Structure 1
Amino acid sequence: MIINHFRGAALTGAGALLAPLALFAVAPAANAGPVAEPFGPACASLPASGEGSAAGMADDPVATAASNNPELSTLVTAVKKAGLVDTLNNGENITVFAPTNAAFEKIPKADLDKILNDKEKLTDLLTYHVVGEKVTIDELPDGSFKTLQGGTLTTSGSGDSFKVNDSAAIVCGDVETENATVQLIDTVLMPAS
């Protein structure tokens, strides 16, 4: 009886030791991979969980992921008006420099309404924010990227402080979606006329 008691205690003890080791071994694998962690001061304003969170956005293509993020509702409205949802959702390894709602609020309402109601200008503006390659923090310090609109975006900075075209700050960068990297910016970028 005593031997069985000790054997049971030993197995219980071993099981207790193996369970945490098994959890430890599995936990890093769930976070493994080439996905960079989001960076920047506005990342704290993303939802902590759910589809609009950084982790939740990773499960959907970019236009769908953006539609779940409360910081990007104006951009999503513009993308829908321009008819670019499928273009963005079907793109592969693209980067979207995504103006936040606050970025759109910097544009006078009359001017924004004019852009939103001109599909050609709106498409030109939105595709200027999309690069046909994956751009992450490693490429941002001194980058130059051709946009889907045909123009060029430049990036500069260091650490976790970066500018796009010397005018827009990346406020939350390297947010991954199923098919894209999203760099949230604080200013709408204007293509050359």
Structure 2
Amino acid sequence: MKKYNFTGRGKALFLFSVLFAAGLASCEENSKDLVKPKTVTDILAENEQFSILNDIVKGTDASDAFRTENFTFFAPNNAAFQAANLTASQVLAWKKDSVMSFLRYHVLAQRHTTSELKTQDYKMLNNQIINLAKGSDSTIVINKNATVIVKNVNTDNGIIQVINRILTKK
């Protein structure tokens, strides 16, 4: 009678079992390993080109509002504030209602990509109207002075359209 040697197969099965168990254990979720969704507030805080706007948002305690809404934010970058000769401390020196109205004038209550935006008037969160015009080359101009220079920055709670001028009444 022939003897079969299962030692090699047994070792291979044991090794496979150990590797499989180790693989399962390494798949365990760890909260520090999960990718957290970024909100509009997170993007403003992380990006140096929005440092003035971020200081204004933080100074008015509007950070939480920008974490919970589903909106389109026409976010002026630092160059936009410099073109208007405005600093965060100057804006924060205004009455709080005025600062909040200023911020809300840059926020559209619905989430819109640039392809969804049309040439028309839009009512902003402060109940004032902006005029948006789309050019044939897909440029977007707001109130005849601000241009969208970075389009469709998606966040977990909205879309940022970066503009090169602060929005002022038309």
Cα-to-partner distance string for 1:59-90 (whole Å, 9 max, x where unaligned): 31111122111211111111111211111110
Percent identity, aligned pairs only?
25
Distance 1:109 1:126 in 2: 14
Q: Which amino acid aligns with 2:110?
A: E
CA shift for structure 1 position 141 = 4.1
Correspondence 1:184 to 2:162: yes
CA shift for structure 1 position 95 = 0.3
Structure 2 partner of 1:61: 39
Cα-to-partner distance string for 1:4-40 (whole Å, 9 max, x where unaligned): xxxxxxxxxxxxxxxxxxxxxxxxxxxxxxxxxxxxx
Q: Which amino acid aligns with 1:107?
A: A
Distance 1:191 1:85 in 2: 24
Structure 2 partner of 1:115: 91
The counterpart of 2:82, out of the listed 105, 118, 126, is: 105
Distance 1:67 1:160 in 2: 29
Structure 1 partner of 2:102: 125
CA contact 2:143–2:169 (8 Å) conserved in 1: no
Q: Counterparts in 2 of 1:29-108, with a 5 A limit? A: 59-92=37-70, 94-108=71-85
Q: Which amino acid aligns with 1:120?
A: D
Which of the two has greater helix per residue? 1
Q: What do you get for the CA RMSD once the two structures are aligned?
A: 2.1
Query: Which runs of 5 or more structure 2 residues have no equivalent in the other structure?
Result: 1-34
Total equivalences in the alignment: 134
Correspondence 1:153 to 2:130: yes
CA shift for structure 1 position 109 = 4.5
CA contact 1:144–1:154 (8 Å) conserved in 2: yes
TM-score normalised by the chain length of structure 1: 0.63
Query: Which runs of 5 or more structure 1 residues have no equivalent in the other structure?
Result: 1-55
